[in-house]
C-alpha cells in the first residue's frame, strides 16, 4: 500500500516547463519564417495583384 512520494512543487515546475516548451514549438511553427520567406511571399502577392489588375476592365457610367 505504499506509494511513491511526489514533491508537488517539482511536479508543477516540470509541468509548467513542458507546457512552455509545447507553446514555444507551436509558435515556431506558426510565426517562425525567415525574412527571405516573408519577402518572397510579399513579392508573390504583389505579382498576383498586378496580374489581376491588368485584366480588369474599367467601365464608365456615361450611358
Handedness of CA 34, 35, 37, 38 (dihedral sign): positive
Predicted confidence at residue 62, as pLDDT, reads 61
Counting the structural domains of the chain, the total is 1
Which domain range does residue 38 map to? 8-51
**Domain contains 40:** yes
Read off the pLDDT of residues 10-57 as tens digits, 9 standing for 90 and up.
Answer: 999 999 999 999 999 999 888 888 899 989 999 999 999 999 988 877
Please check whether residue 57 lies inside any domain of the structure.
Answer: no
Residue 28 lies inside a defined structural domain of this protein:
yes
With respect to residue 35, please indicate whether it lies within any of the assigned structural domains.
yes
Q: How confident is the model at residue 3 (pLDDT cuts 50, 70, 90)?
A: confident
Instruction: Give pLDDT, residue 20.
Output: 97
Q: Do the domain assignments include residue 24?
A: yes
- Establish if 1 belongs to a structural domain: no
pTM above 0.95, yes or no: no
Higher pLDDT, 8 or 2: 8
CA–CA separation, 63 vs 61, rounded Å?
A: 6
- 39 in a structural domain: yes
Amino acid at each position: 500500500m505504499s506509494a511513491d512520494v511526489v514533491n508537488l512543487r517539482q511536479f508543477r515546475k516540470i509541468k509548467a516547463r513542458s507546457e512552455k516548451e509545447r507553446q514555444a514549438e507551436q509558435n515556431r511553427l506558426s510565426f517562425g519564417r525567415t525574412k527571405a520567406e516573408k519577402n518572397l511571399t510579399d513579392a508573390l502577392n504583389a505579382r498576383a495583384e498586378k496580374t489581376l489588375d491588368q485584366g480588369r476592365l474599367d467601365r464608365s457610367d456615361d450611358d
